[in-house]
Every structure is written in structure tokens, then in C-alpha cells.
Structure 1
Amino acid sequence: MAVYNGQEYIREQLESLKDQTYTEWRLVIRDDRSSDKTAEIVKKFSDEVEQEVIFKVNEKPSGSAKNNFALLINDAKESDYVMFCDQDDIWKKDKIEITFNKMKQAEERYGRDFPLLVHGDVEVIDENGNINADSMFEMSHINADSKLPQILIQNHVTGCTMMCNKKLIAGISEYASSEYIIMHDYLAALYASVFGKIEVIKKPLLSYRQHSGNSVGAKNNNNPVYLLKRLANGRKSYKEAMETSRNQVKFFVEIYRKELAAEKYCEEYELMSGYASLGSRAKLYRIMFYKKNHIWKNGTIRKIMQVIWG
């Protein structure tokens, strides 16, 4: 769990961990130098539960949830399985049990020595716990079964629902804090889609709290207000986001070049290298590349923006 000034909601999240039907868990928390009562709340919780709770305070602020989670990934890289926890959500009582069962099924199918990622849906709640949406997959028009071509341009894996096995964590731990990585869950999704497998649980695993302090929020990609705002931000903002996406993929190809050189990954290498180079290509070439490789964002309006500005 990555925390920073989480006193308002963290107790509810911790209580939801205490109530889990699967009880053989260990909680590792990194505090990004909070100035509120977060540490006191965690200490009290630690005294109340039988499970091990490890509380670490960063020597200096990491500066972002992404960087704090990157530190946690390194903390947990010797663990057999890792789940990621936000400070302000509320887990369903059977979240760990359901996710772990799905992971075990994946291991039976593919083997333990294989990068595996399990993730699922969430319900979206407001600051007071009222449900805004029963499914973020539906609200954000997410294709939960997206493959690598779609993941290149749009991540569909929500980090707070993920379970990663040891093989996957070992593959990404060194690079999760890089400036070119958009978020740890995005790197995990890319790595699993290339070198491993992604399994989806198509039901809400937690209540995802949407409020003004979210680092990353749930978005309705077909909401007219959201789309008008994106249009108002205009060409410059959209092209910057696309460039960030391409730079992430370029970085991925560079750091995993040795693995991608294997013959069985030649299609993935060609696809990712082509996508990473699109910034230097003419618009018509980019459009034809998207079409040929089925690389499209979700939603009609977003596809139109991709054609015009992408």
C-alpha cells in the first residue's frame, strides 16, 4: 500500500483488509512522508491484527504514487504474489480469495515459472461511499480482454485490482520508477501481454473511491463533458499524451531487447518497434499502421481524435 496523507479514508481500507475471507496475507506500507495522522492509524491497526504489518517511511518524498509503488515493488520482489492497494478504496471481503483462486487456475494452465497478471473490475464510489457506477469496465467502456495492440495505446488494467506473480514482479521491478513509464500497472500490463498472460475477473473486486485527490481517476470515455474537455485541451495536449505512450513503448523495447530478440517474440518486437517510431511518420502512415494492427482507443469520439491528432 502506497500512502500519503491518507487519514481521511485509510481506516476504511484497512478494515476491509482485516475482513478478508483469505487471511494469510502480509501488508507492506510505504508512507511518502505524510504530515497527518496516517502513521498513528496504521500503528493502531497493526496492533489489532494477527497478520504482519510493515510500515516504512521514505527517507525523502518520492513525489508521486508511481514512484512510491515502484519502491514497494522492490520491497516485495521476493514474494510469491503481490497485490497493490490504494489508501482510499474499500476491498470486497473476498477480493484476495477470488483473485488468488484465479491466479492458481492460471498457474495450473501455464505453470508457475511464467509471468502472470490477474486483474478485475471495480465499482466507483464518491467521497461519501455512494455508488456512482457499478462497473468501471462499463462506465469507461473498457475492453477487459484487450490484447497487446490495444494495450500499447490504452491501458485497461487497474493497478488496485492486480495480483502479479513472482516472475512478473522480477521482470518489472528494476524499471517501474523510470521517467518513461507512465504507471506501474501499465508496465505490468505490457510485460504480461508480451512475455506472459493476463487473466480477467469480470466482476467488481473493490469500491474505487473517486475524489479530488485521486492520482488517477475513473473516466467515462463517452461522457460529453469529458470529451468536450479533451477537445478543448486540443491538439497539443493529445499529441503530448500520444508521444508519452510511444516513448514508454520505445523504452520497453530498449530494456527488453535481449528477450524480444527470441524468435517467438518477433511479431511483438515488430509491432512495438513500429508503434514507437510513429512520431516521425506522416499522418497517413500512422493511420494505416493503426488500421493494419487494430490499434484503436475505445469509443467512437476517441477514435476520431486519434485519426485527427494521433
Structure 2
Amino acid sequence: MCTYNGEKYLSQQLESMRAQTHSNWTLHVSDDGSKDGSLAILRAFAASFDDNRVQVYEGPRQGFSRNFFSLIARAEIQADCYAFCDQDDEWDTGKLARATQALGGLQAGLPGLYGTSSELIRASGDRIGRSRIFHKKPGFANALVQNMTTGNTMVLNHAAVDLMRRAGTDVEVSAHDWWAYLLITGNGGTMIYDPYPTIRYRQHGSNLYGENISLRAKWARVSKLFKGDFKTWNALNVAALRKCAHMLTQQSLHRLDMFDRARRASLLSRPVYLLRSGVYRQTWDGQLALIIATFAKRI
């Protein structure tokens, strides 16, 4: 878990962890310099257990993504599975049980990533709706152009975290969760998508990253695409993958090369390379936006 001035909703998140049906867990928190009561809430939560299951560290104070990377880098944190956790959500009581069961069915040593849909709630806790359900198979071809699940739903097995550690946690990428999806699937690992909502994802003004289900939010996302944000994110991701080329499968390297050519090619050649790359987004409107962005040289 990463925290920063999260006292308003932190207790609800912590109590949803206490209520997990899978009780064999520990909590590692990196706090990025909170000035509110977050640390006091964490200390009280830790004191409510008669073991040392809650550990708090000082974060690097370089943003939320770098804070998560700082936790991944801590070799002393060893487990069978690792869950990314935000400070203002609420977990379904069966979240960890579902994730560990799904990841436990993978071949030993195979990097695995589990992600789900979300139930969306207001700051008050009232339900808004559900995040969009995806039906296309997860994989590297999807990961190159879309992070299909938010990090707060993600759980990784040990092989996946070990892979991220070997790739280097000082990597410059768009976001830690998208990087997990890219690296794990690019390495030949497995992404398991569960349409069941394992978290109550709080939507409020302080969100660094929210669900894009409203027309206004979708328009804002399309605007970012054509303003160049999507192109910038892709540039970071492609450069990071190039540095980890030895960790990618031959098929992944081919997809990466074709996608990168689609980003740089002449107008008439761009769609050809995009088709050869095999990349796809999860929805028809997302795929249409990708095609338009390709012609506009915004990928």
C-alpha cells in the first residue's frame, strides 16, 4: 500500500483488509510524507494485531508510481502473492482468496498477474455502477496499447514480482501497473482477468486515476490521446521494453518492433505495421480510437 495524506478514507480500506476471508496476509505501507493523520491511523491499525504483520516505510516522495516501485524493490518483502493497494478503496472480503486461488492454478515458476473489474462508489460510499467488463483475451498485444485493469485490483505471484525486480525498479514508464501487465505478458507470463468486482473503487476529486465510464470522462481520455499523452506514455513504455529485450519472448519482440514502426512510419505505412503488430484494445470504440490515433500519428 502507498499512502499520502489519506486519512479521510484510509480506515475503511484497512478494515476491509481485516475482514478478508484469506487471513494469512501482511501489510507493507510506503508513506510519501503525509502531513495528516495517516501515520497515526496506520500505527493504530498495526497495534490492533498481536504480530508484526503491518510494516511502514518512508516513501521516495516522487509520485505514486515511484512509491509503488520502491515497495517492489524491497527484497525483504517475500510472499507467494503481492497485491497493489490504494489508500481510499474498499476490498471485497473475498478479494485475496479469489486471487490466490486463481494464481495458484498456474504452472510453477510462470509469472502471473490477476486483475478484476471494479464496483464504483462515490466519496460517500454510495454505489455509482460497475467498470466496463472486458471480453477479449488479455495478452501482450493488448498490453502494448492498453492497461486493461487498474492497479488497485491487481495481485501478482512471486515469479511476476521477481521478474519486475530483475527488470529494475528504477525504470521510466507511464505507470507501475501498466508496466506489470506489459512485462509479465511480454515475458510469456499469464494475465488472468476476473470480471467479478473485487474492490469498491472510490471516485472523488483527489483521485489520481479514475474510471472512465461517464461520457465526460471518456471525452477527457480521448482528448489526452490527441493532445499527445498516449503517445508520450507509449514512448516511455517502448523504451523501457527495449531495455528489457532479453526478458521478452520472440513473439513479443516482433510485436514490439511492428508497433514501434507503426508509431514512426509514413502515413500509408502506419496502418500496415499496426496490423502486423496485432495490437488491440478491449472495446470497439477503443479500437476505433486507436486506428484514428495511428493515422494522426498520436500513438
The normalised TM-score by structure 2 is 0.89
Map 1:113-152; keep pairs closer than 5 Å.
113-134=109-130, 136-138=131-133, 142-143=134-135, 145-152=137-144
Report the number of matched residues.
290
Map 1:229-244; keep pairs closer than 5 Å.
229-230=220-221, 235=226, 237-238=227-228, 240-244=229-233
For residue 225 of structure 1, what is the aligned residue in structure 2?
216
Matched, 1:11 2:8: no
Matched-pair contact (CA < 8 Å) for 1:176–1:187: no
For residue 246 of structure 2, what is the aligned residue in structure 1?
258
Matched, 1:198 2:191: yes
Offset at 1:175? 2.9
The 3-state SS of whatever aligns with 1:23 is coil
For residue 152 of structure 2, what is the aligned residue in structure 1?
160
Map 1:178-217; keep pairs closer than 5 Å.
178-179=171-172, 181-195=173-187, 196-217=189-210
- The gaps in structure 1 that reach 5 residues or longer are none
Offset at 1:230? 4.9
For residue 85 of structure 1, what is the aligned residue in structure 2?
85
Amino acid at match of 2:202: R
Deviation per CA, 1:109-132: give whole Å up to 9, x if none.
x22x12111121111111111111
Summarize the Cα distance change of 1:103–1:219 in structure 2 as closer, same or farther, 3 Å threshold.
same
Summarize the Cα distance change of 1:306–1:115 in structure 2 as closer, same or farther, 3 Å threshold.
same
The normalised TM-score by structure 1 is 0.86
Of residues 160, 164, 179, the one that matches 1:172 is 164
Deviation per CA, 1:31-84: give whole Å up to 9, x if none.
0010000011111111112451001123xx422110100011112553332111
For residue 45 of structure 1, what is the aligned residue in structure 2?
45
Select the structure that is richer in helix: 1
For residue 33 of structure 1, what is the aligned residue in structure 2?
33
Matched-pair contact (CA < 8 Å) for 2:20–2:96: yes
Matched-pair contact (CA < 8 Å) for 2:163–2:184: no
Distance, in Å, in 2 between the alignment partners of 1:66 and 1:270 is 28
